[in-house]
């Protein structure tokens, strides 16, 4: 064990010596002038005896012991050594934790470890030690030196710390990097996916599209966004009205203000919805079929049009155990064309504006649009001045679709609905009155609408000024049938007598009114096959408008 200790000590000495390179005289043969271990006091270092003078230096007697003997005071008296250059005492701690102590004499070959009287802690590969050397007889008595932590420990600890950091970085660095990369990639993939999803939805399934993304937009941001939503569906030409889920709460959001009209199916109120005026048509509960039909027709894809009443939505609620059927549309303060004509006389421009816009709306209604997002052809079946509304700019919009019928050439389907009601008798075409109409033929229904359009033109013509004169407002056949005429009354006049509204003489001297009278005759012709289609009427009116320099149509270009 003692041999091992010294081996360790020498090993440590060589290690420090060569590592520091601070030893000026390296030979133990006695040619060095000074030695520096870097751990000793400089002053004391100067007193260190050099090898040459070893022989002349005083010699000492020292205690000598190993292990447990060292604490035995009796043995200490007998275990001695002499002729020492210095005495030493040391403590070693082996790797297994066992601490051993020893004392002894320093001979010249071991002096490097006792170059000073201070302790020389060290850490050989296989343990730790601490040594104290002294000069003087038996000076190595007393307590053994403690094992001090050598600064190498700190260095090692620091290195271990550094190594730990490096190791952690080596492990966690790539993990963190890969995780961040994955997050970024997933984020962009999801965005891309959402974009594609929206694109496909809007292409393939407009219903779903509106019920999800736009619904969220609409409900979260209040009225302006709902308006935007409606605007969006106008410009995109998609199905009209709000998403169904929004519609389900409409009744709760509306405050009814005043009753503006009474029709066959119920009442029409002006209401306030998100701070804006709306028209609320409240159906009698017995007229659920009309409500259903109108809701269905307004929800038709691509129905939205400048000359069709703007639809907001429908709601069915229960109040005081009564079913309430609501239909919300844009509100037009001028009311129906019937109301308007009763109040106002028209100049040529107003007349053309009204006639063209009604014809334009009817063209849109009657026309089937083909394609994946197509629109069926629609016959109104209750066209009259009370079912046409006048917008603030003098342009008209067709309303009241409770009796409308749809037809698609693509599917060959004619949807008559289940409403048992029939149109307004006063405006019924002769083939409807004499019941010769083929209800399964959509074209026949379209032609019955044209008949009614002829009567509307007559109502408008009467109120149009020429030479400062206009007739009073009158309903068609006012002169030959009573108020609220019966089916029979109408049939007798229209079918039996082949009677049509009178055209005042003054019209013939007014170019526009004269042409309009010609047009209306072609519309209400007894023979449905002779009646003009809506598109032809529209084109004739447009041509007529272009011949009068005073006529300026707001939407002329759009109509061409």
Q: Is 87 in the site for ligand ADP (CB under 6 A)?
A: no
Long-range contacts, stretch 252-260, CB < 8 angstroms, 24+ apart: 252/317, 254/278, 254/280, 254/326, 254/328, 256/280, 260/335
Could you give the CA distance from residue 319 to residue 282 in angstroms, rounded to a whole number?
13
Nearest CA-CA partner of 519 in 429, 451, 432, 433? 451
Stretch that binds ligand ADP, among 146-154, 335-343, 348-356, 440-448 (CB under 6 A): 335-343
- One symbol per residue from 487 to 506: x for binding ligand ADP (CB under 6 A), - otherwise; what is it? --------------------
DSSP 3-state assignment of 279?
Answer: strand
Residue 329 in tokens: 């549309």
DSSP letter for 113, please: G
> Based on CB atoms, which residue is closest to ligand ADP, 377 or 399?
399
Out of 104, 263, 376, 485, name the contact with Mg ion by CB under 5 A.
Answer: 263
Q: Is 474 in the site for ligand ADP (CB under 6 A)?
A: no
DSSP 3-state assignment of 127?
Answer: strand
Q: CB under 5 to 8 A by kind: which of Mg ion, ligand ADP, none does 266 bind?
A: ligand ADP
| Least distance from ligand ADP to the Cβ atom of residue 337, Å | 9
SS (H, E, C) 306-353: CCECCEEEEEEEEECCEEEEEEEEECCCCCEHHHHHHHCCECHHHHHH
Burial 418-449 (b: 16+ CB within 10 A, else e): ebeeebbbbbbbbbbbeeebeeeebebbbbbb
Q: Is 335 in the site for Mg ion (CB under 5 A)?
A: no
Out of 389, 490, 532, 553, name the contact with ligand ADP by CB under 6 A.
Answer: 389
For the question of residue 382 being annotated catalytic, the response is yes
Q: CB under 5 to 8 A by kind: which of Mg ion, ligand ADP, none does 134 bind?
A: none
Could you give the CA distance from residue 295 to residue 280 in angstroms, rounded to a whole number?
13
| Least distance from Mg ion to the Cβ atom of residue 265, Å | 7
> Based on CB atoms, which residue is closest to ligand ADP, 332 or 507?
332
Q: CB under 5 to 8 A by kind: which of Mg ion, ligand ADP, none does 399 bind?
A: ligand ADP
In terms of C-beta density within 10 A (0-12 exposed, 13-18 middle, 19 or more buried), how is residue 297 classed? buried
> Based on CB atoms, which residue is closest to Mg ion, 401 or 451?
401
Residues 6+ apart with CB under 8 A from 532: 450, 519, 522, 523, 540
| Least distance from Mg ion to the Cβ atom of residue 431, Å | 22
Out of 279, 302, 396, 541, name the contact with ligand ADP by CB under 6 A.
Answer: 279
**Would you tell me the crossing angle of helices 534-547 and 442-462 to the nearest 10 degrees?**
30
Out of 110, 123, 281, 407, name the contact with ligand ADP by CB under 6 A.
Answer: 281
Which run of H or E residues covers position 486?
none
Q: CB under 5 to 8 A by kind: which of Mg ion, ligand ADP, none does 419 bind?
A: none
Pick the catalytic residue: 214, 315, 350, 382?
382
Residues lying near ligand ADP in the complex (CB under 6 A): 260-261, 263-266, 268, 279, 281, 309, 329-332, 335-336, 339, 386-387, 389, 399-400, 402
Q: Which residues of the chain form contacts with Mg ion (CB under 5 A)?
A: 263, 387, 400
Catalytic sites, residue numbers: 382
């Amino acid at each position: 064990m003692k041999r091992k200790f010294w081996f360790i000590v020498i090993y440590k000495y060589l290690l420090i010596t060569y590592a520091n390179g601070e030893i000026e005289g390296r030979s133990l043969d006695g040619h060095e002038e000074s030695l520096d271990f870097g751990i000793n006091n400089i002053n004391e270092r100067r007193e260190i005896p050099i090898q040459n003078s070893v022989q002349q230096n005083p010699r000492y007697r020292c205690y000598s012991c190993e292990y447990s003997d060292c604490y035995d005071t009796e043995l200490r008296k007998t275990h001695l050594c002499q002729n020492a250059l210095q005495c030493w005492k040391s403590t070693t701690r082996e790797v297994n934790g066992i601490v051993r102590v020893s004392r002894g004499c320093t001979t010249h070959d071991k002096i490097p470890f006792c170059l000073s009287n201070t302790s020389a802690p060290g850490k050989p590969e296989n343990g730790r030690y601490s040594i104290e050397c002294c000069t003087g007889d038996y000076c190595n008595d007393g307590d053994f030196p403690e094992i001090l932590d050598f600064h190498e420990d700190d260095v090692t600890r620091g290195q271990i710390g550094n190594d730990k950091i490096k190791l952690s970085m080596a492990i966690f660095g790539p993990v963190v990097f890969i995780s961040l990369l994955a997050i970024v990639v997933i984020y962009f993939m999801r965005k891309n996916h959402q974009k594609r999803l929206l694109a496909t939805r809007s292409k393939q399934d407009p219903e779903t599209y509106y019920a999800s993304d736009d619904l969220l937009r609409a409900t979260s941001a209040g009225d302006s966004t709902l308006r935007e939503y409606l605007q969006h569906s106008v410009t995109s030409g998609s199905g009209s009205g709000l998403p169904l889920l929004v519609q389900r709460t409409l009744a709760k959001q509306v405050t009814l203000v005043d009753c503006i009209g009474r029709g066959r199916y119920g009442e029409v109120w002006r209401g306030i919805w998100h701070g804006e005026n709306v028209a609320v048509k409240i159906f009698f509960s017995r007229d659920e079929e009309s409500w259903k039909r109108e809701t269905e027709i307004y929800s038709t894809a691509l129905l939205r049009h400048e000359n069709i009443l703007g639809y907001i939505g429908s709601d069915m609620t229960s109040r005081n155990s009564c079913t309430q059927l609501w239909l919300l549309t844009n509100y037009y303060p001028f009311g129906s064309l019937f109301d308007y004509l009763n109040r106002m006389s028209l100049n040529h421009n107003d007349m053309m504006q009204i006639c063209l816009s009604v014809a334009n709306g009817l063209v849109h209604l009657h026309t089937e649009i083909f394609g994946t997002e197509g629109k069926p052809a629609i016959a109104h079946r209750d066209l009259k001045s009370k079912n046409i509304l006048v917008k603030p700019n003098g342009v008209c919009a067709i309303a009241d679709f409770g009796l409308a019928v749809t037809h698609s050439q693509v599917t060959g389907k004619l949807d008559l609905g289940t409403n048992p009601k029939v149109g307004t008798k006063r405006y019924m075409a002769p083939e409807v009155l004499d019941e010769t109409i083929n209800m399964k033929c959509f074209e026949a229904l379209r032609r019955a609408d044209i008949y009614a359009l002829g009567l509307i033109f007559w109502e408008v013509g009467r109120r149009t000024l020429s030479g400062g004169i206009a007739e009073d407002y009158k309903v068609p056949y006012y002169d030959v049938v009573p108020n609220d005429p019966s089916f029979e009354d109408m049939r007798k006049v229209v079918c039996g007598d082949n009677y049509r509204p009178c055209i005042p003489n003054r019209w013939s001297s007014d170019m526009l009114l004269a042409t309009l009278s010609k047009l209306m005759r072609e519309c209400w012709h007894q023979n449905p096959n002779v009646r003009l289609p809506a598109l032809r009427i529209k084109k004739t009116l447009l041509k007529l408008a272009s011949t009068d320099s005073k006529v300026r149509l707001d939407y002329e270009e759009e109509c061409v």
